[in-house]
Amino acid sequence: MVQIKKYRDYKCQFCSTQILKANGDYYIEACHIKAKAGGGKDKLNNILILCPNCHKLFDYGFREKEKNTKDIYSVTLNGGKYKASLK
Q: Give residue 1's pLDDT band: very low, low, confident or very high (50, 70, 90).
A: confident
Q: What is the pLDDT of residue 59?
A: 96
What does the domain layout of the chain look like in residue ranges?
2-61
Q: What is the pTM of this model?
A: 0.91
Residue 48 CA to residue 73 CA, distance in Å, equals: 9
| pLDDT tens by residue, 35-83 | 999 999 999 999 999 999 999 999 999 999 999 998 999 999 999 999 9
Judged against a pLDDT cut of 90, whether residue 20 lies above it is answered with yes
Top pLDDT among 2 and 21 is at: 21
| Amino acid at site 82 | Y
Name residues whose C-beta falls within 8 Å of residue 60's C-beta, 6 or more positions apart in sequence.
none
